[in-house]
Amino acid sequence: MHRVFVCNCFGVTEAQVKKHAEGGACTPRQIASACKAGTDCGSCVRRIQALLGRGALPGREPAAQDIPAFAEVERLDEAA
């Protein structure tokens, strides 16, 4: 069996993170409480979020594809 490490600081594997998620951990903080992953250097937090099915920036909506990003800012400036 091939081990894929998520957290090198504490030797936490992908399988361990998934096991904790199946046990009810649904946030990186809850994973950290269960196995310390993400509590030292923090470089694994994004990978943990991905394993939990969350993007790197949870809660953010993607920008509208039909409007250039700065067009909305310019429109708001004109309205002010």
In a domain, 68, yes or no: no
Q: What is the DSSP string of 38-70?
A: TSSS-TTHHHHHHHTT--SSTTPPPPPTTS-HH
pLDDT, tens only, 38-75: 999 999 999 999 999 975 444 445 555 565 555 555 55
Q: Report the CATH number at residue 49.
A: 1.10.10.1100
Q: What is the mean pLDDT of residues 9-25?
A: 95
Residue 43 lies in a domain: yes
Position 15 in a domain: yes
- Asked whether residue 54 is domain-assigned, the answer is yes
Look at residue 4 and tell me if it is in a domain. Answer: yes
Which residue did the predictor score with more confidence, 79 or 56?
Answer: 79
Q: Tell me the two tokens of residue 34.
A: 């269960």
Confidence tier at 2 by pLDDT (50, 70, 90):
confident
Residue 1, domain extent: 1-58
Model pTM? 0.65
When divided into structural domains, the chain yields a total of 1
